[in-house]
């Protein structure tokens, strides 16, 4: 049956004709069209937007969307060993509960008194991240690790007034792409090689490339290829010796067990907080952190918002606000400051909830479980015929590289066979790191059980032999 009155959409209350007439009367206009008097006829769109018929009943919309989403197969339905910048970790229920609260979900830019809650929650996020990182200043999160790394390098360039960054070539290809786009013409990006056995930074190459124009050395620990570099202090010292900064990217979920970069000389630490309570969301849950010591020369170069604690006109009351709002670079200003905008505050609040739930014990537990699970998986896979570990001498945390070359098979081929068994193999590196051969980056987390890993190893063995 068709509706016998003009449709009043639930999202648009003032579609009611009588209300519109009343409002137009108050305005003194004959029609809504008249309100568009400044849009000239040649710019008026008189066609019809070719959009599908609306699903006006909420139930119809739900049915339609659920049918479309049903075409996805999830990492809950399949067994997944995908990582590489987006990881499947456990999301505690309280994280989802707080993230879904209307007040946080639909809040935006209220003042410190009326939006006290988001200021405090984000201040606490900064504070808990600072404990995890053993640093003193942490930003309100930016878009993701790509942006956090790009900004960290630009900060280093401003602080040192230099124009080159040495970047470990074990970095993720998409991070490198974003950094290059962001820094081009302002900071020269030079790759530093790796040791083929351990995946650690090649110190000889680093020494050869360090020069007086180097603003920073950037490396990730563990790296995109999963390897832990225990030469952090050496690298930092080499950088510091020529007046450059040490910038380190780190996975926060590793820091319950791994030494935080600040303890081996890092001046700026950055990374992604997706592991701390954000669902994967097809890559939508990323958010970047940047941390430094509380020194004016660092703080003044943050382009991010920094929420600080302060008093109010009521004695004893906590208030919050933007620390050093007029952050200004007094260095030579050939390169302008960066911009900020709506980024990922809600993910920051959620990560704060995660850290509060986990506490020191939980962060250690989760890190240790990941370590053990991945050690087990790597060991089992290394025993398979047709599979070869890349960086066999590496220490690693949750990801490691396997080369299927000895089996004479492409990663694609192996992964297709695994999918048929309900398994998502690792991230295919054969196009991005061709020098590693037919290689995949395998990720194991705290969510994997022994049975899961055994099943994966068995299926992988079959695929390699097939």
Footprint (CB under 8 A) of another protein, residues 140-159: 140, 143-147
Out of 79, 123, 157, 388, name the contact with another protein by CB under 8 A. Answer: 123
Among 30, 66, 212, 435, binds another protein (CB under 8 A): 66
Q: From CA 414, how far away is CA 426, in angstroms rounded?
A: 10
- DSSP collapsed to 3 states, 95-163: HHHHHCCHHHHCCCCCCCCCCHHHHHHHHHHHHHHHHHHCCCEECCCECCHHHHHHHHHHHHHHHHCCC
Binding flag, residue 446, another protein (CB under 8 A): yes
User: Using CB under 8 A, which residues numbered 339 to 358 contact another protein?
Assistant: 339-347, 349, 352-353, 355-358
* Token digits of residue 387: 């599979």
What residues contact 271, with CB distance under 8 A and at least 6 apart? 145, 148, 249, 250, 251, 252, 288, 289
242 sits near another protein (criterion: CB under 8 A)? no
Contacts of 194 (CB under 8 A, 6+ apart): 168, 169, 170, 200, 201, 202, 223, 227
Interface pick for another protein out of 226, 249, 256, 386 (rule CB under 8 A): 256
Is 90 among the residues that bind another protein (CB under 8 A)?
Answer: yes
Which residue bears the tokens 């499947």? Answer: 88
Say if residues 202 and 192 touch (Cβ distance below 8 Å).
yes
140 closest CA partner among 273, 315, 23, 251? 273
Segment 361 to 420, residues that bind another protein, using CB under 8 A: 361-366, 368-369, 371-373, 375-376, 379, 395, 415-416, 419
In the bound complex, what is the minimum distance in angstroms from residue 195's beta carbon to another protein? 14
Instruction: Pick the closer one to another protein by CB: 74 or 208.
Output: 74
Among 223, 236, 262, 286, binds another protein (CB under 8 A): 286
- Of these, 79, 85, 165, 262, which contacts another protein (CB under 8 A)? 85
- Show contacts with another protein in window 188-227 (CB under 8 A): none
Distance, CA of 19 to CA of 24 (rounded, Å): 9
Piece of the chain touching another protein by CB under 8 A; list 210-218, 239-247, 336-344, 458-466: 336-344
Compare residues 348 and 405 and give the one whose CB is closer to another protein. Answer: 348
User: Binding to another protein (CB under 8 A): which residues in 10-49?
Assistant: 11-15, 19-20, 22-24, 26-29, 32, 34-40, 42-45, 48-49
Cα dihedral 14, 18, 20, 24, rounded to 10, equals -150
């Amino acid at each position: 049956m068709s509706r016998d009155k003009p449709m009043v959409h639930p999202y648009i209350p003032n579609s009611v004709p009588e209300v519109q007439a009343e409002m137009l009367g108050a305005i003194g206009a004959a029609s809504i069209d008249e309100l568009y008097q400044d849009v000239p006829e040649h710019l008026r769109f008189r066609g019809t937007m070719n959009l599908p018929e609306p699903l006006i009943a909420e139930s119809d919309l739900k049915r339609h969307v659920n049918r479309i989403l049903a075409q996805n197969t999830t990492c809950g339905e399949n067994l997944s060993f995908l990582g590489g910048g987006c990881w499947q970790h456990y999301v505690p229920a309280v994280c989802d509960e707080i993230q879904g609260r209307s007040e946080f979900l639909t809040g935006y830019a209220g003042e410190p008194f009326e939006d006290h809650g988001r200021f405090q929650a984000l201040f606490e996020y900064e504070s808990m991240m600072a404990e995890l990182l053993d640093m003193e200043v942490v930003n309100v999160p930016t878009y993701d690790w790509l942006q956090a790394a790009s900004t960290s390098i630009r900060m280093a360039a401003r602080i040192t007034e230099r124009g080159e960054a040495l970047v470990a070539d074990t970095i993720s290809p998409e991070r490198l792409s974003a950094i290059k786009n962001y820094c081009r013409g302002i900071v020269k990006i030079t790759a530093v090689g790796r040791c083929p056995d351990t995946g650690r930074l090649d110190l000889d190459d680093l020494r050869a490339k360090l020069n007086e124009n180097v603003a920073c050395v950037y490396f990730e620990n563990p790296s995109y290829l999963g390897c832990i570099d225990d030469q952090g202090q050496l690298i930092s010292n080499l950088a510091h010796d020529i007046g450059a900064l040490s910038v380190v990217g780190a996975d926060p979920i590793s820091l319950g067990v791994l030494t935080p970069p600040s303890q081996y000389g890092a001046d700026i630490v950055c990374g992604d907080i997706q592991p701390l309570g954000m669902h994967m969301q097809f890559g939508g849950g990323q958010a970047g952190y940047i941390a430094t010591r509380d020194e004016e020369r660092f703080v003044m170069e943050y382009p991010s918002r920094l929420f600080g604690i302060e008093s109010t006109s009521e004695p004893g009351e906590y208030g919050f606000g933007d620390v050093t709002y007029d952050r200004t670079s007094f260095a030579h200003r050939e390169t302008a400051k960066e911009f900020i905008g709506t980024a990922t505050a809600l993910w920051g609040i959620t990560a704060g909830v995660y850290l509060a739930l986990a506490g020191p014990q939980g962060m250690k537990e989760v890190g240790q479980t990941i370590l053990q699970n991945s050690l087990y998986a790597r060991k089992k896979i290394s025993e398979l015929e047709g599979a070869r570990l890349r960086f066999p001498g590496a220490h690693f945390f949750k990801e490691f590289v396997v080369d299927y070359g000895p089996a004479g098979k492409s990663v694609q081929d192996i992964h297709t066979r695994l999918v048929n068994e309900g398994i998502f193999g690792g991230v295919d590196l054969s196009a991005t790191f061709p020098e590693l051969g037919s290689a995949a980056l395998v990720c194991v987390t705290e969510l994997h059980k022994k049975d899961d890993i055994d099943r994966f190893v068995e299926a992988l063995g079959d695929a390699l032999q097939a």
